[in-house]
A and B are shown apart, each in its own frame.
Chain A
């Protein structure tokens, strides 16, 4: 039976699955917070903020995530910087930070699109009613952005779950790494990777169905 090897090493695969989920969730929360802040910076009236936001987005979108992870873990490590005194914790945090930074750039683009989609007349009306810039953002611009950004954020979440596999290259024992350990113990490489494949599909296919459903719903309403 394909994937039967999961039941021979349940603790390895389940720990892997759990770590994949943890990094995905932490990375996604970080990416949404960071991306929203960067998007606000990019549409703000303060020019240097816009410039920094733009530089951040272009840099993180145009370099490979794996190199960013190496830089965060090995590069900063060589300077003596550690995310935690505990090695395992440190790798884990480096991976989650890397996920948040990389996907934050994509979130920023999506949220920026949503913010720019708000009619200029509303912004002017809110400002002329005496709302400060930040109040206007909080009460007028951001709430209207949510609906249009949810389906694209779902797509970013799927990409993020898949990309957590890169954390294996810096030593986080997520799914792919678990498969590699099983491979080195049993020399049954094909079986181990097919098991990892099935567990990844278990996460990404339901997410994909959910995102498609949301997309259809929100597009009809619009």
Chain B
């Protein structure tokens, strides 16, 4: 840590540069979580379906994706000139970096959210479904009006802690060229040769965001999830926190 490398941080332009990174990080996390929630909900319901041709592909997707490193998924979607989207978007299509990052993050997060949502659904007493069905509600209507509102409410803290994980994971999309916080930091220190100062600042910024979020999710107690669901939540948290 050389004394002459600190004065540069008095320059507001440098902080503007960091701020752009933070904005990109938050933006990509929110888009990914929103997308993952929709996809995750579909797979959670798919895995609980009674029809085997819906259930088995859902299980395969969830367990397969959860067994992979999120960085691998991001790098895979980030392949330049990938043939993956050619059939849909034409031969000259090149996936924008931002969306490659979102797809990689979302594919992983959707599998995790599917498990979180499923844990919430199965933790509700069976009597809830039986009562709703006895009252003449259809299966879909029971899910929509009785089961999901309660299950999702129960899982809000778990989903918030998953948001913390997603924010940490966004640091990986810099490897495919998205200018999030870490990538911005790397750009600065390759210019000024001061990795330790820049990385300390980057670590601090991540810490402030993630610590605030994880504290908030810990405080948030929307009804107590049953023991089995809590064990499941802990397992998901341990297995699927990456990066």
Contacts and interface: CB of A to CB of B under 8 A. Distances in A.
A163 B75 CA distance: 14
Nearest to B63: A208
Interface string A101-128: 0000010001000000000000000000
Given A155-B235, A166-B172, A63 B206 contact: yes
Contact of B67 (A71, A163, A208): A208
A135 B76 CA distance: 52
Given A66-B171, A159-B239, A78 B194 contact: yes
Interface residues of B, number: 47
Given A67-B206, A165-B69, A197-B68, A159 B241 contact: yes
Contacts of A63: 168, 203, 206-207, 210
B206 A163 contact: no
Interface in B66-93: 67-72, 75-76, 79-80, 82-84
A88 to B, nearest CB: 20
Given A152-B235, A159-B239, A62 B196 contact: no
B67 A64 contact: no
Contacts of A201: 64, 67-68
Contacts of B79: 189-190, 193
A58 B206 CA distance: 12
Contacts of B200: 71, 75
Interface string A63-77: 111111011001111
A220 interface: no
Contacts of B169: 64
B72 A166 contact: no
A159 B242 contact: yes
B238 A75 contact: no
A165 B203 contact: no
B234 interface: yes
Interface in A161-215: 162-166, 168-169, 176, 180, 189-190, 193, 196-197, 200-201, 204-205, 208, 215
A61 interface: yes
A165 B82 contact: no
B210 A204 contact: no
A59 B203 CA distance: 9
B196 A163 contact: no
A7 B102 CA distance: 32
B48 interface: no
A163 B169 CA distance: 11
B196 A66 contact: no
A75 to B, nearest CB: 4
20 contacts: A62-B214, A65-B242, A66-B182, A67-B203, A68-B203, A71-B195, A71-B203, A75-B196, A79-B196, A152-B238, A155-B235, A155-B239, A159-B239, A159-B242, A162-B68, A169-B175, A189-B79, A189-B82, A190-B84, A193-B76
Interface of B: 1, 63-64, 67-72, 75-76, 79-80, 82-84, 164, 168-169, 171-172, 175, 182, 186, 189, 193-196, 199-200, 202-203, 206-207, 210-211, 214, 231, 234-235, 238-243
